[in-house]
Every structure is written in C-alpha cells, then in structure tokens.
Structure 1
C-alpha cells in the first residue's frame, strides 16, 4: 500500500468509494443523495495544499482503497485545530488500512502546524470509534439523537478531539 497526497485527477477514483459510503447513510452526516459535484467540493476543494490536504491509499495495482482530508476546523485564531474525514473501502476493512492512514494523517497534520484534531460528528454506532480512541481521541460530548441511522434509528453524534 502507498499513502500519498491526492492529485486533482484522483477524484474520479475517490468518488465511487465516497458515494458508496455516504449513500449508505450510516457513518457520515452528509446527505446520502449528495450529487457528485457537491461531493467533490466537500471532500476535495479546488485549492488543494497545506490548508486543504487530501490523501489517498493505493493498493499494489493502483486501486484507491481509502482517502482522507485534513483542513482547519475553523479559520482565524482557531485555524490551528484540524478537522479530518476518513473513508476506507468497506470491502477492505479490518486490514489495518484505516489505522495506517490515520497515523499518516495525524503526523502530517502535526508537521503542518496543527496542535489538535477534532471530529465534529462521529456517529456513535460507527465502528471506527474504537480506532479513534486507540489513537488518543476522546469524546468531548455527544449530541443525543442527532443522527437518523437507517438501521438503528436516532443515535448520537460524538464530538471527538485529540491534541497533536
């Protein structure tokens, strides 16, 4: 596996993964019917660079099996706190891809000058919470019933944070 900064032309390989995960409606608080241009703007804004980094994980044959973004959670005097999103191909979970990508992203965020990372809306039924906790994230608060899960009904959204 190779983890690298995404290029603009990688979007065509990220989109099928993004669409499959978001349309399932189980782990992201984005509209499951998000059209492709809006999805691209959410995940991969036109101005890639230090303030908006996107990463991809490729397997040996060049297939994108995961992606992540990192950007400031807010601007101005709060721009030193990062926000990030992660997606791993559901057919490849449990192989350590998410952990390797998360470790890479956390280190890159630290090198880019961020002092902390926050996740604003982690669905409380998301199995990735165990990964985030093992990497030092803690839940600061849970907004009860804030997410309409297609299987579990109303569940909470966790706000998670870790210092870098």
Structure 2
C-alpha cells in the first residue's frame, strides 16, 4: 500500500468509499443524499490543501483530504478527514493516511492539526487519533444524530506540533 496525491482517474474508486461512509450516517455529518458531483466538489481540495488516496496497485483503499482548518488568522492550524473502504478497515490504511496528513502539515509549516467533528462512538478513529498524539479538547453533547445510538457527542480533537 502507498499513499499518493489524488488523480482525476481515482474518482471512480474514491466515490464508492465516500458514498458508503456518508450513507451509513455513523461517522460523518454529511448529507446522505449527496451526489457524486457534490461529493467530489467537497472532497477534492485545492491548494494549499491536498487530497490523497491510499492504493494497492490500482485499487483505492482509502482517501484523505487536508488543508487549513480556517482561513486568514486561523490558517496556521491544519485539519484533515479520512475515509477507508469497509473491507480495508483495521488493516492500517487509516493509520497510514493520518500519518501522511500529519507529516504533510508539519512539512507545510502548520502549527497544529485540529479535527472539528469526530463522532464519539467512532471508537476506532478516536483510538487512532489518540495513539498518534491527539487529545480531546471538548465534546459537543448531542451534536450528531447516529442512526442507532440517537444523539451523541462530537469531539473536538487537537495536536500541537
């Protein structure tokens, strides 16, 4: 597996991952009815941001996007989002994507990385982020409606470099 910059011909492999994650409504606060064009416009970053894919040969196993968390005076803090194909979860793809994003942020002079909305029941992601040095700064109670758990919290997670 390798992580590399997204290329236009990767979209047919990225879209099913995004579609599956978003329609599950368990980990991302995105519209489950999002179309492929809308998803592409939202997921594919323009500079100074970057979108990447984790691939095994021609198969897309996961994807990430990264960039400044906020414009202007907040642009020194980065953010990132990650999605992994269901059959590739638990195999190190998410770890590789997160490590790539952290290295990218450091190389590009960011002072920190912040995740604005990590669903508290997404235990695999929370564990991964903590293992890689993030802390939960706060949890917004009942800010995410999970399809089976009801309203649960969203973590604000942060790592200073």
Query: What's the TM-score, normalizing by structure 2?
Result: 0.95
Aligned structure 1 segments of 4 or more residues deviating by more than 3 angstroms: none
Unaligned runs of 5+ in 2: none
Moved more, 116-125 or 92-101: 92-101
- Give a deviation string over 1:48-90, Cα, whole Å, max 9, x none: x3x120110001x310001000011111121010111001111
Aligned to 1:19: 19
In the TM superposition, what is the alpha-carbon distance from 1:13 to its structure 2 partner?
1.6
Aligned to 1:44: 44
In the TM superposition, what is the alpha-carbon distance from 1:134 to its structure 2 partner?
0.5
Moved more, 145-154 or 93-102: 93-102
RMSD after superposition: 1.1
Query: How far apart, CA to CA, are the structure 2 residues paired with 1:74 and 1:9?
Result: 29
Q: Secondary structure at the match of 1:74?
A: coil
Aligned counterparts, 1:77-88, within 5 A: 77-88=73-84
Number of aligned residues: 160
Query: How far apart, CA to CA, are the structure 2 residues paired with 1:40 and 1:30?
Result: 13
Query: How far apart, CA to CA, are the structure 1 residues paired with 2:156 and 2:63?
Result: 21
Aligned to 1:156: 153
Query: What's the TM-score, normalizing by structure 1?
Result: 0.93
Query: How far apart, CA to CA, are the structure 2 residues paired with 1:130 and 1:103?
Result: 14
Unaligned runs of 5+ in 1: none
